[in-house]
Structure 1
Amino acid sequence: MNHIQFTIVESWNTNSIVRLYKEAGWWKEEYSPDEIPGLIKASYRFIVGIDVTSGETIAMGRIISDGISIGIIQDLCVHSDFRGKGIGQVLLQFLVNEARKAGLLKIMLVAEPNTESFYKKSCFISNKNQIFLLHCR
């Protein structure tokens, strides 16, 4: 794990970010790589994980926030070649620490189905009293 470095960025190589989105299954044909720089810049914090031995971007995650009370972690992804090594947990803790350092009071996250046990290891809980809804077009 010593060969993985996490860094907050305001810009990054678009192709490496698109590759991670595709790897996670989140990239759709109608998306444009040209929008990635704006997505990174508009994020409250955008973190990349770099394998320093190869220079390859192997992980990412971001926080969107009002900068005062709420931070929402999303797009947490570790490339499949690097999964199962604890990198995701370290990245998640990095994001939580950044949110706490910024003084955010509530930290929430958006997760894929059946990943709850991963997040519970980092003290995230499901709140059965709240339901988050996605607007469908």
Structure 2
Amino acid sequence: TSSERYSAAGAATLQGFIEDTSHRQSSLPLAHSSFFAVAPPKSPTQPRHSIIATGSVFMEKKFLRNCSKVRHIEDIVVDSSIRGKHLGKRIINFLSDHARSMGCYKLILNCSVQNKTFYEKCGFLQKSVQMAM
């Protein structure tokens, strides 16, 4: 069954991870390396010290992939007064390029149903269902 394959693969990978990292466990965080993108205003009508768009990405090491890196995009926000000028897509592209340059095998995000179309336009595909408590 797929459950048995998952368990066998997970056990083998986890054993390899433990053997490979036992000497440095205390210095191996599973999630770190946050990276932020901020767009300052370029219009004279916007306050000089305001932010018109922002986004962040953080890295997670995956046990089942020999600590390969996956990046999570979060907090993509564009000021409502300036939407429609592709700033959100530019932030996503910037963060995606950064993730690739860091050797990440996957880039993922969670979004609301209202924002699904935007992220699809940025190249993301719906892959699974998110659960939360």
TM-score by length of 2: 0.62
Higher helix share: 2
2:130 pairs, out of 127, 132, 137, with 132
Which amino acid in structure 1 is aligned with residue 91 of structure 2?
L
Structure 1: distance between partners of 2:50 and 2:38? 10
Partner secondary structure for residue 69 of structure 1: strand
Partner secondary structure for residue 51 of structure 1: coil
Q: CA deviation at 1:131?
A: 2.0
- Of structures 1 and 2, the larger Rg is shown by 2
Task: Describe the shift of the 1:96–1:75 C-alpha distance in structure 2 as closer, same or farther (beyond 3 A).
Answer: same
Unmatched tracts of structure 1, length 5 or more: 1-41
Q: Is the 8 A contact 1:43 1:62 kept in 2?
A: no
Which amino acid in structure 2 is aligned with residue 64 of structure 1?
F
**Residue 65 of structure 1 corresponds to which residue in structure 2?**
59
Aligned residues: 92
Q: CA deviation at 1:92?
A: 0.9
Which amino acid in structure 1 is aligned with residue 98 of structure 2?
E
TM-score by length of 1: 0.61
Unmatched tracts of structure 2, length 5 or more: 1-31, 62-67
Q: CA deviation at 1:51?
A: 1.2
Structure 1: distance between partners of 2:33 and 2:132? 20
Q: Is the 8 A contact 1:65 1:72 kept in 2?
A: yes
Task: Describe the shift of the 1:134–1:43 C-alpha distance in structure 2 as closer, same or farther (beyond 3 A).
Answer: farther
What is the percentage of aligned positions where both structures have the same residue?
Answer: 27
